[in-house]
Amino acid sequence: MIVRDLNQARQTERHVFSKGWDSVRLLLKSDKMGFSFHITTIHAGAELPMHYKHHFECVYCIEGVGSIEDGAPGEIHRIGPGTMYALDQNDRHILRADPGAPMVMACVFNPPVTGSEVHQDDGSYALESESA
Q: Is 23 in the site for ligand 9YT (CB under 6 A)?
A: yes
Q: How far is the CB of 51 from ligand 9YT (least distance, A)?
A: 11
* Segment 45 to 64, residues that bind ligand 9YT, using CB under 6 A: 50, 57, 59
Rule CB under 6 A: say whether 26 interacts with ligand 9YT: no
Nearer to ligand 9YT, 27 or 95 (CB): 95
Comparing CB distances to ligand 9YT, the nearer of 65 and 107 is 107
Rounded distance between C-alpha atoms, residue 51 and residue 5, angstroms: 29
Whether the CB-CB separation of 32 and 26 falls below 8 Å is answered with no
Would you count residue 38 as binding ligand 9YT (CB under 6 A)?
A: yes
Is 95 a binding residue for ligand 9YT by CB under 6 A? The answer is yes
Strand arrangement of the beta sheet that strand 92-97 belongs to: 47-51, 92-97, 66-71, 74-79
Strand-pair partners of 96: 47, 67
Is 40 near ligand 9YT (CB under 6 A)?
yes
Residues in contact with ligand 9YT by CB under 6 A are 21, 23, 38, 40, 50, 57, 59, 95, 105, 107
